[in-house]
A and B are shown apart, each in its own frame.
Chain A
């Protein structure tokens, strides 16, 4: 019995380790449909991890790595809106509901958890799809973030209209850790 216990402990450790998947490719972008010009930016430096044993998922997105078409816009995004010196990262930590690791089809799932942007944390529910293929996990999601929810202030001297909500697109590929 003792041997069995130790054995299962070791297994538990091992399996817990193998049940983690880390992002090997990441893509986060946002799109905002403003009056004067559409604002869009891409980020390929985000990282994420999934624990398939518990269906936990976490994201970390470095704000300064968002690339804009216009350098000045990127500077304003970091300096005025996101204050990325103070809040360098946006994070999400939550659970994947309805995710079955054994299924081979594309699954519709909902991630519930805490989204932190600009230092403000909100409970959110984010819809998305997951597919398990060749021992890799593919996660895709599209959701709306309201700028005001995260206390991102838009200075009043800015003449150009900035949209109050942005559409965020997430596209990640995970491999076993």
Chain B
């Protein structure tokens, strides 16, 4: 009889050990930091950058393309007769630092950027609500030709600089939002109508529709834009805030971004401060960003 009682007393110990092995494993684990990944599909949102950089050792070839305005009518084949291209390379030096160079046919601009991930959104041991990436870039316009330079034009006048903070949060696995305070300095402007230093705030986001398809949008609001009448008086075109919508389609190593935007150029200086299209007036350009990633250095 007593043996049976003993058995009953002992039984829970065994039963308990049996049930909770997995629970025990969880307990043993020290709390770890879980870093958010894939806030955006690519390094570009629509025209501008996302917080994403390339991982160490991977090289991305980016082919960006903007047609003419859709309101060109049949004569212009709804913009398809005209096209601007940017060819670029982005390379991850480390997982947090990447460098990129490119050539844009609009204004014949050579550009280069450095992007550095300052903060990464994370939860767990270390809790960080946002990811922040800093971007610094320079753009050099090859146009006008040396022989066509106006009087007093120096080669430093061809340069413009961009400083940007890209602040993003992946709110759910499908929705990410981004804020982009941007500073642009242009070495040469028509001082009568425009300032050398210009500031804009960008807003953007992406919504995943399926595992491989996402909708994106991006808007750059200029805080102190030059007056359009003043610009007109010196023979410049009207300027607008840059707005764009896109569809990201991802297939293996490629990302295809199909975009509709009011700008036809592809560098920060021209997109943010020199967009000529009135989106709601029909100056909408169809465009593509196509990327292909190559892993140059394997991770192990």
Contacts and interface: CB of A to CB of B under 8 A. Distances in A.
Interface of A: 1, 5, 8-9, 12-13, 16, 19-20, 22, 42, 47-49, 51, 53-54, 56-60, 64, 67-72, 74-76, 78-80, 83, 85-86, 88, 91, 93, 153, 155, 157-160
B24 A54 contact: no
Given A49-B25, A64-B34, A72 B13 contact: no
Interface string B260-300: 00000000000000000000000000000000010100111
Interface in B219-249: 249
B74 interface: no
B2 interface: yes
Nearest to A47: B25
Contacts of A91: 22
Contacts of B18: 51, 54, 56
A69 B13 contact: no
A4 to B, nearest CB: 9
Given A16-B14, A51-B21, A72 B58 contact: yes
Contacts of A19: 17
Contact of B24 (A49, A53, A68): A49
Contacts of B37: 64, 75, 78-79
Report the interface size class on chain B: 35 or more
Given A64-B37, A74-B299, 10 more contacts: A5-B9, A8-B10, A49-B25, A51-B17, A68-B299, A69-B300, A71-B55, A79-B37, A157-B212, A160-B252
A57 B252 contact: no
Contacts, number: 108
A58 B58 CA distance: 37
Contacts of A54: 14, 17-18
A59 B55 CA distance: 30
B211 A155 contact: yes
Given A53-B14, A53-B17, A157 B298 contact: no
Interface in B137-164: none
Contacts of A59: 25
B253 interface: yes
Contacts of A64: 34, 37
Nearest to B25: A60
Contacts of B295: 69-72
B6 interface: yes
B38 A79 contact: yes
